Amino acid sequence: MNIAVLNETSSGEARVALMPDSIQKLVAAKASVSVESGAGLGAARTDDDFTNAGAAIVKDPKALLADADVLVCVSRPADEVFQSMKKGAVVLGFLRPLDEPARLVPALENGLTTFSMELVPRITRAQAMDALSSMATVAGYKAALMGADHIPRMFPLLMTAAGTVPPARVLVLGAGVAGLQAIATARRLGAVVEAYDVRAAAGEQVRSLGAKFLEVDLGGIQTEDKGGYAVELSEEALKRGRDLIAEQAKSADVIITTAQVPGRRAPVLMDETAVNGMKRGSVVIDLAGATGGNVTLSKADEIVDRNGVTIMAPTNLPATVPVHASQLYSRNVTAFLSLLIKEGDLHIDMNDDVVGPSCVTHEGKWMNQRVAAAMGIA
Ligand code: NAD
């Protein structure tokens, strides 16, 4: 079984899908791994590092693909990549099947079996494969650093001979994986942190990190589903949250928003009025930019200035921490691959409770109901 790794080509992408330590494990499991020359440079890994781990380095991506039984990638590859692979081959990566299902038609038409890391179920058995959590952790960390870097003041409380410097105030909206990591990082830097989430369960986690949890009376409505994820709220409930946020925003130096509802547009948590109420020099970092944003004024991957308030919506922060983001991702995909490798051969068991639900296309069919529905197929 040949596993291939290409250079990631999307703009700003510095991660690599497999790092040398994972390749050692795959080679020990009797798979062979080929890596396109230079694929690891963004993550500070040279061709020699990959060779020493047991991989073959290939200069020509076409030759690499023609030979591949499995292509492991970070972002969804270009149409031509799907078209260059042999029928029945496997592609594994962040394929955005729910956001852009039509972009997977070339894989479907070429008879490829595609597995999407976004669809890996968040069950205990699949925790080691939870790439969404890994990347959210990196993004939350980096968002707090960006906030600290962009405000014209310091984060910690300092008592100096020249007087006292008060700590920065950070407000985190959405206390899931990314939000909690942003809180922890901002706290380590010495900021005073407050956080809001619609899931009551998030309150305990927020408090355990030394931050204040903002409570809103949402009228006792259900805010989470059986799986522990937030559900789409009524306009009235959203408005109550927005009113509280607008009030708290007035004293915040940094606001980091991470609120998402799986499979839906991100909820709007801050409108223009809320931003207009903020202090000059304060910063908003909207981590929901890829799904429409939590802040009406934010523009994906652009920096917006509104009366001295900076609004940023970076859509790929994990790529700005490429070594650790690649290391975590590589371990996640390797754990998934271990379900597909038996005695060095490819063995796909669609009845497996992780493999089956993660599959998008197989033998020319859409395998996931939500993706098929998004494609308009009953
Ligand atoms: P996510 O990225 O889907 O959402 C981020 C946060 O936004 C969530 O905490 C959500 O409650 C919040 N949110 C949604 N709408 C909101 C609104 N209108 N106002 C304020 N906040 C809003 O979530 P995530 O970070 O991927 O994970 C969320 C939950 O899943 C957490 O409980 C987490 O512990 C759990 N989880 C479980 C596993 C596992 O069991 N393997 C793995 C990862 C996460």
Q: Which of 173, 197, 222 to mutate to test the pocket of ligand 1 (most atoms within 8 A of CB)?
A: 197
Residue 228: the pLDDT is 78
Average pLDDT, rounded, for the chain = 96
Structure tokens at 230: 């937030």
- Once rounded to an integer, what is the mean pLDDT over residues 37-61? 98
CA of residue 196 to ligand 1 center, whole Å: 12
Locate tokens 């921490």: which residue? 321
Residue 314 has φ and ψ, to the nearest 5°, of -70, 130
Single-letter code of the amino acid located at 255: I
What's the distance, CA 252 to chain centroid?
25
Q: Tens digits of per-residue pLDDT, 275-299?
A: 999 999 999 999 999 889 999 999 9
Residue 6: the pLDDT is 98
Single-letter code of the amino acid located at 87: K
Q: How far apart are CA 43 and CA 39, in angstroms?
A: 9
Residue 312 has φ and ψ, to the nearest 5°, of -120, 145
- Once rounded to an integer, what is the mean pLDDT over residues 302-310? 97
| Atom 43 of ligand 1, nearest CA residue | 133
CA of residue 179 to ligand 1 center, whole Å: 9
The yes-or-no verdict on residue 227 having pLDDT over 80 is: no
Catalytic residues: 122, 127, 130, 133, 229
**Helix, coil or strand: residue 295:** strand
Surface-to-core class of residue 3, CB atoms within 10 Å of its CB (0-12 exposed, 13-18 middle, 19+ buried)? buried
Asked if residue 286 lies in contact with residue 315, where contact means CB atoms within 8 angstroms, the answer is: no
Locate tokens 């900021």: which residue? 191
| Atom 34 of ligand 1, nearest CA residue | 176
Ligand 1 atom index nearest CA of 175: 9
Query: Any idea what DSSP says for residue 127?
Result: G
Radius of gyration of the chain (CA): 22
Q: Tens digits of per-residue pLDDT, 318-328?
A: 999 999 999 99
The yes-or-no verdict on residue 254 having pLDDT over 90 is: yes
Q: Tens digits of per-residue pLDDT, 63-108?
A: 999 999 999 999 999 999 999 999 999 999 999 999 899 999 999 9
- Once rounded to an integer, what is the mean pLDDT over residues 39-45? 98
Pairing of strands 70-75, 56-58: unpaired
pTM: 0.96
Length of the chain: 378
Q: How far apart are CA 179 and CA 102, in angstroms?
A: 31
Residues within 6 Å of ligand 1 by CB: 122, 127, 130, 132-133, 136, 173-179, 196-199, 202, 228-230, 233, 238, 241, 258-262, 267, 269
Residue 112: the pLDDT is 98
Q: How far apart are CA 310 and CA 291, in angstroms?
A: 20
Pairing of strands 90-94, 113-116: parallel
- Once rounded to an integer, what is the mean pLDDT over residues 142-162? 98
Structure tokens at 69: 């039984």
Pairing of strands 212-213, 90-94: unpaired
Single-letter code of the amino acid located at 316: N
CA of residue 348 to ligand 1 center, whole Å: 30
Surface-to-core class of residue 175, CB atoms within 10 Å of its CB (0-12 exposed, 13-18 middle, 19+ buried)? buried
The yes-or-no verdict on residue 378 having pLDDT over 80 is: no
Locate tokens 């308030």: which residue? 309
Residue 244: the pLDDT is 96
Of the two residues 216 and 65, the one the predictor is more confident about is: 65
CA of residue 224 to ligand 1 center, whole Å: 9
Q: How far apart are CA 370 and CA 96, in angstroms?
A: 12
Q: How far apart are CA 89 and CA 106, in angstroms?
A: 13
Q: How far apart are CA 184 and CA 258, in angstroms?
A: 14
Locate tokens 């590859």: which residue? 77
Pairing of strands 163-165, 158-160: antiparallel
